[in-house]
Amino acid sequence: MIYKASESRYEKMQYRRSGKSGILLPVISLGLWHNFGSVDRMENMREMLTFAFDQGITHFDLANNYGPVPGSAEENFGRFLAYEFKHYRDEMIISTKAGYGMWPGPYGEWGSKKYLVASLDQSLKRMGLDYVDIFYSHRPDPDTPLEETMAALDLIVRQGKALYVGISNYTAEQTQRAESILHEMGTPCLIHQPRYSILDRWAEDGLLNVLDKRGVGCIAFSPLAQGLLTSRYLDEIPADSRIAKPHGFLQKEALTEDRQSALRKLNEIAQMRGQTLSQMAIAWLLRDTRITSVLLGASSVNQLKENLEALRNYSFSAEELELIDKTSKPVMMR
């Protein structure tokens, strides 16, 4: 059965401009970091992608190494682009990145022009695309001149392989330098993708002010702190959770007694607001107009449905914000 998108999809979502650009992004974007790899069910992926698009989520975020195995998220997404979304490509913002290890040898990671250009060529083949809308330098390279990394992004746009470029995981100082270099080249930096949540606020250490001043958008990843800012860890560690996996990004050591106690208090604040903890965590980010979009991952349609409810209320009183800070700042993850 051929997928036909909901005719009311654009009535269900709110959109924000990315910095001073012409691009509007949905305030909720879908990330394919987890649950879209070679080990995951295709039907579940299909359900999440089509549901998201039906809700007005037009931005889908990938990277070369998303999986597992690395590259498989792009391959799977490409299969859906070829069929379900064949007629909707021009309604979609598709982004990918390069920076982390992807293949053996000295040219398979970091920020050289050799690696970035080759990686994007591979990504385009995996997804069956002529271009992506946004291509990111996934992380700063301590050993490659920033001028070379930014020159690679500029080249990629001039080659027509990406419409816009962005950076991720760059500090405030690195961001200011990178944006200045790109500006001089005539290829503006569209957006920055930092890790940002109630429990992880390194983006507040000057980065958000730089982005606002320079007219660069901001899309927050890990808004739920890898799942800690949900109801899953209020009492015990579920056997099927990320934290229970031995080689995941979230380790058991992250769930200290003090942090778990703080999560319970944050959950109480959320309940007083008529929200779940995850909904409040998303709303807390969106209260700041400097945040263009919040990048969510999901393992099911039901998770997406719950998190989209955050859009019903992202206004906070001064008392609520003070209580959230008082509860969370002593147990920050960074």
Q: What is the DSSP string of 81-103?
A: HHTTTTT-GGG-EEEEEE-S--S
User: What are 294's strand-pairing partners?
Assistant: 28, 220
Residue 182 resides in a domain = yes
**Parallel, antiparallel, or unpaired: how do β-strands 24-26 and 15-17 relate?**
antiparallel
CB 263 within 8 A of CB 233: yes
**What does the chain come to in residues?**
334
Does residue 82 lie in a domain region? yes
The DSSP string of 252-293 is GGGS-HHHHHHHHHHHHHHHHTT--HHHHHHHHHHTSTT--E
* Joined tokens for residue 122: 């591979």
Q: Would you state the pLDDT for residue 243?
A: 61
pLDDT of residue 239: 53
pTM reported for the whole predicted model? 0.95
17, part of any domain: yes
List % helix, strand, coil for the chain (3-state, nearest 5): 45, 15, 40
pLDDT tens across 213-259, in order?
999 999 999 999 999 999 987 886 665 555 645 555 565 677 888 99
The DSSP H or E segment spanning 212 is helix 207-214
Which single residue is written with the structure tokens 């906070």? 316
For the chain, residues with pLDDT lower than 70 are: 236-252
What is the tens place of the pLDDT at every residue in 138-153?
Answer: 999 999 999 999 999 9
pLDDT at 254: 76
- 196, 190 Cβ separation under 8 angstroms: no
How many angstroms separate the Cα of 25 from the Cα of each of 13, 122, 308? 10, 26, 15
How far, in Å, CA of 134 to CA of 307, rounded? 24
Residue 249 within a domain: no
Q: What is the pLDDT of residue 2?
A: 86
Q: What range defines the domain where residue 216 resides? A: 9-230+277-331
For the chain, what is the domain count?
1
Residue 235 lies in a domain: no
CA separation for the pair 185, 232 (Å, rounded): 47
Q: What is the CATH number of the domain that holds 100?
A: 3.20.20.100
Residue 127 lies inside a defined structural domain of this protein: yes
User: For residue 260, is it within any domain?
Assistant: no
φ, ψ (nearest 5 deg) of residue 91: -100, 5
Q: How far apart are CA 69 and CA 225, in angstroms?
A: 23
Does residue 253 fall inside a structural domain?
Answer: no
